[in-house]
A and B are shown apart, each in its own frame.
Chain A
Amino acid sequence: MHKLTTLHPSNIVVQAEGNIVSDMDGEKVMLSVQKGKYYNLGEVGGDIWNAISKPATVAEIVSTIERAYEVKADICQQDVISFLQHLLDEELITLLNT
């Protein structure tokens, strides 16, 4: 489990494999067959998910969201890290460095 791992801007993350992803009304939804769970990532979460289709640092993901949305940098970083932490806890993303 990743419960004890705290993400930092320098961490590199990427989508985990084995999930079925679809777009519904502008929101990203996902089915984890392995875990038997269904997830709604929402619009911003969907953009974060798209940003990690290839390995990217947390800082790069924050920059991507910051450029696309009306949001202050410090709030964006806090929210993106919190969201990625949730994805990591659900084992939906893989941490490539620690």
Chain B
Amino acid sequence: MKKEYSRPSLEV
């Protein structure tokens, strides 16, 4: 079962 994808972002 694959997980729901969300675009990775780096919060600084």
A residues within 8 Å of B by Cβ?
37-45, 48, 67-71, 76, 79-80, 83, 86-87, 90
Q: How large is the interface on B (under 10, 10 to 19, 20 to 34, 35 or more residues)?
A: 10 to 19
Closest to B4 in A: A70
B residues within 8 Å of A by Cβ?
2-12
Task: List 3 tightest A-B contacts by C-beta distance, closest first.
Answer: A69-B5, A40-B11, A71-B5
Set of chain B residues within 8 Å of A90, measured between Cβ atoms = 10, 12
What separation, in Å, do the CA atoms of A83 and B6 have in the docked complex?
Answer: 12
Cβ A87 vs Cβ B10 within 8 A = yes
What separation, in Å, do the CA atoms of A45 and B9 have in the docked complex?
Answer: 7
What separation, in Å, do the CA atoms of A81 and B12 have in the docked complex?
Answer: 18
